[in-house]
Structure 1
Amino acid sequence: MLQLLYEFGHFDWNGPVGCGFPAAIQHGIARTAANLSDEFIDTNIDHLFSEMTGCPCYCLNDADAAGIAEMNFGAGTGESGVVLLVTIGTGLGTVFFTDGVLLPNSELGHVYMDNGKEGEHFASDTVRKAEELGWKSWGKRLNKYLSYMEALFWPDLIILGGGASKKFDKFSSLLTLKARVKPAQLLNQAGIVGAALYARSKHK
């Protein structure tokens, strides 16, 4: 906490702060903690982080933050219809927009597939590395997951973000989807940009 307070003091900032957080966030309260301590569940992290920083903090799901950035400044700019963004990293984060309007906290990386595994336990970047999968083998897994999402929601566009999206050319030929597929453009900056936009929209 002292380190965090020092950092904010160093920047001499007392305005609103946006925070992408790896959980479902409902009115500032963390409802899940899939890759975090369970102590965060049902904690009002808006209040917690505001107290720690001395700044008004507005938290949202980290994948939602990346999606907001991509829709405003990246691969989703000007897109209408149903857009699904999948962030590929430690897990699989999912974000839905319909005509530019966000459906928050979709958390579809935790959907069970027909092989009995959660999507993110089957096709995340962490799994690719842990199982030492080549891009071809992993690409087929990702395609199976995305095909499952397509059969449920029929997006017009799928945007792939996260670390693996930087290697899009190594697995894009394995994707057999009806939807258009694009790599995200903002890469590691997406969450920061989206969280800042969210904070600006919430701060009155």
Structure 2
Amino acid sequence: MSESGIALGIDVGGSGIKGAPVDLDRGNFAADRIRIDTPDGATPDDVCKVIADIVERFDGAHGHAPIGVTIPGVVTRGTVRSAANIDPAWIDFDVVAHLHELLDHPVVAVNDADAAGIGEMYYGAAKGHEGLVILTTLGTGIGTALIHDGVLIPNSELGHLELDGHDAESRAANAAREGEGLSWDEWAGRLQRYYSHLEALLWPDLFVVGGGVSKKSDRYLPLLDLRTPIVPAQLENRAGIIGAAHLAAQHR
């Protein structure tokens, strides 16, 4: 952990890049979050310049704090491996090495759903839970994070499981509910199929449901019949920043 108990979290999204210093003892922001619009095209160079801008704004107060950066794609050892919703130039781009050239800070890069899962594991809905916790973010697609006894198993991508001849997220993500005009009951039927399949494969101890629609969890979670406890996420849109900061501090 950083000496001051502070690390910076940067969350790279399709419309905005957001960052804040995180108090790792409290699991909350140590200063107001900064948001800058994601540059048109979202190329790696342009996004990294925005990340550097956000970091430099906090440097005066937090010096050489470690930095955790979320990426909307698979990340292995600092290199981005997939680019489903970002510029194809990200594929095989070593974002950690590039940011090291721009910034005099330790840097960790992590998949965005994995960062959110770590945030919820250490500071949110899964805090104190042992065994296998699966976070799912229900949004445009389905992001997932697998955490076993507090240890992240990265890049799970379980939103892309094939179910009934379909990519699971194409049927069960919140975007499918909105796009097809599904009632909460109809959508819950699809979620039942998805979460039951995860149960059969992995036998988790807890499901945590994130994404913006988690704020309306009372409309659909009570309709599910699962053996695994399933609860809404608690950190909302802070989870990625907080989780990335936590991972950065652990890797220092």
User: Same fold per TM (> 0.5)?
Assistant: yes
By percentage of residues, which structure has more strand? Answer: 2
The answer to whether residue 61 in structure 2 is matched with residue 11 in structure 1 is no
Q: Which residue of structure 1 lines up, in the alignment, with residue 178 of structure 2? A: 129
Deviation per CA, 1:16-53, whole angstroms, max 9, x where unpaired?
21111111111001111122222211111112333345
Distance 1:163 1:47, change over 3 A: same
CA distance in 1, matches of 2:186, 2:103: 44
Structure having the higher helix fraction is 1
If the length of structure 1 is used for normalisation, what is the TM-score? 0.91
Structure 1 gaps of 5+ residues are none
Query: CA shift at 1:164, angstroms?
Result: 1.3
1:179 corresponds to 2:228: yes
Aligned to 2:41: none
Equivalent in 241, 245, 248 of residue 192 of structure 1: 241
Q: Do the aligned partners of 1:4 and 1:53 also contact (CA within 8 Å) in 2? A: no
Q: TM-score, normalised by structure 2?
A: 0.75
Indicate the residue corresponding to 2:19 in structure 1. Answer: none
- One of 68, 80, 83 as aligned partner of 2:118: 68
Corresponding residue of 2:193: 144
**1:59 matched residue in structure 2:** 109
Distance 2:117 2:57 in 1: 30
In the TM superposition, residue 14 of structure 1 has moved relative to its aligned partner by 4.5
- Tell me if the contact between 1:84 and 1:96 (Cα under 8 Å) persists in the aligned partners: yes
Q: Do the aligned partners of 1:70 and 1:77 also contact (CA within 8 Å) in 2?
A: yes
Match of 1:34 among 77, 84, 94: 84
Deviation at 1:113, TM superposition (A): 0.8
Change (3 A) 1:132 1:51: farther
Indicate the SS of the match to 1:102: strand
Tell me the percent identity. Answer: 44
What residue ranges of structure 2 are gaps of 5+ in the alignment? 1-45
RMSD of aligned C-alpha atoms? 1.7
For structure 1, which segment, 31-40 or 67-76, has the greater mean C-alpha deviation from structure 2 after superposition?
A: 31-40
Between the aligned partners of 1:87 and 1:49, the Cα distance in structure 2 is: 27
| Contact 1:70/1:186, CA 8 A, preserved across alignment | yes
